[in-house]
């Protein structure tokens, strides 16, 4: 009977964690709706200022809330000792190594697209179109805000909710599954393009566990998005 109750409690707790994490994801997606609305208004010759103002207010509140929740998670359960790893010559050189790995993935991907082995990602095409319609705000969001939100949600909060135990198996599964979900957020189908996006997510996941500091992941994500868009 006790084992049955424990199983039920574990299932309910897992469902609750799922709902909470999906809630963070939904809040982030709502933020992008404001930017899409502003872009549509600009493309139709209307002033996007009101939508941009709403986006900035919402983004600020959301960033404060997600950051606070992430810190609360670490205070409650932090077996991997996530926190602040000082930037030193060694860690910066390692960060450059991770970025070179991401560059290699991006370069290999571009070759596959240029040789028509893989199609150009629809997600990237849509972002490029939005950038041409409302350049400054779309670039600022994609390069500066999106990496912060996505690293806190897909690496920080996700791993703390579902793979908090510091074992080789949990670390591997956490990196693998978070990378796959990250890929699905960019392409919602089982295609080779999903693997390419997931590979970038796997590098970011491994980087997070390696440095034990989400700021390193945000930096990598900044650089990756800037390279893709600029």
In the predicted model, what is the mean pLDDT of the chain?
Answer: 90
Helix (H) or strand (E) holding 228: helix 214-229
Q: Which residues neighbour 46 within 8 Å (Cβ) at sequence distance 6 or greater? A: none
The model carries a pTM of 0.91
Of 177 and 121, the structure prediction assigns the larger pLDDT to 177
Q: Is 110:101 a contact under the CB 8 Å cutoff?
A: no
Q: Look-up: residue for tokens 């945000």?
A: 218
Alpha-carbon separation of residue 139 from 26, 135, 144, 153, 154 (angstroms): 22, 6, 8, 20, 21
Task: Quote the pLDDT of residue 1.
Answer: 56
Judge whether residue 101 has pLDDT over 70. yes
Closest by CA position to 127, among listed 119, 137, 117: 137
Q: pLDDT of 40-68, one tens digit each?
A: 988 887 888 999 999 999 999 999 999 99
Q: pLDDT of 23-46, one tens digit each?
A: 999 999 999 999 999 999 888 878
Closest by CA position to 58, among listed 141, 129, 154, 126: 141
What whole-number distance in Å separates Cα of residue 158 and Cα of residue 1? 31
Q: Is 28:55 a contact under the CB 8 Å cutoff?
A: no
């Amino acid at each position: 009977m006790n084992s049955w109750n424990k199983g039920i409690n574990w299932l309910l707790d897992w469902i609750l964690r799922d709902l909470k994490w999906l809630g963070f994801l939904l809040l982030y997606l709502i933020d992008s709706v404001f930017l899409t609305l502003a872009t549509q208004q600009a493309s139709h010759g209307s002033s996007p200022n009101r939508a941009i103002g709403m986006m900035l207010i919402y983004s600020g509140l959301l960033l404060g809330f997600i950051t606070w929740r992430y810190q609360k998670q670490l205070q409650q359960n932090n077996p991997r000792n996530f926190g602040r790893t000082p930037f030193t010559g060694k860690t910066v050189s390692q960060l450059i190594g991770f970025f070179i790995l991401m560059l290699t993935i991006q370069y290999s991907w571009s070759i596959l697209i240029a040789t028509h082995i893989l199609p150009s990602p629809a997600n990237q095409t849509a972002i490029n179109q939005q950038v041409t319609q409302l350049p400054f705000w779309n670039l600022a969001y994609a390069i500066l805000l999106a990496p912060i939100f996505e690293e806190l949600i897909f690496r920080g909060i996700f791993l703390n909710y579902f793979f908090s135990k510091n074992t080789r198996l949990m670390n591997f599964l956490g990196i693998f599954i978070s990378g796959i979900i990250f890929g699905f957020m960019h392409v919602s189908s089982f295609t080779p393009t999903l693997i390419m996006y997931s590979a970038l997510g796997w590098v970011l996941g491994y980087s997070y566990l390696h440095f034990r500091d989400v700021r390193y992941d945000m930096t990598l994500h900044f650089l990756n998005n800037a390279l893709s868009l600029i």
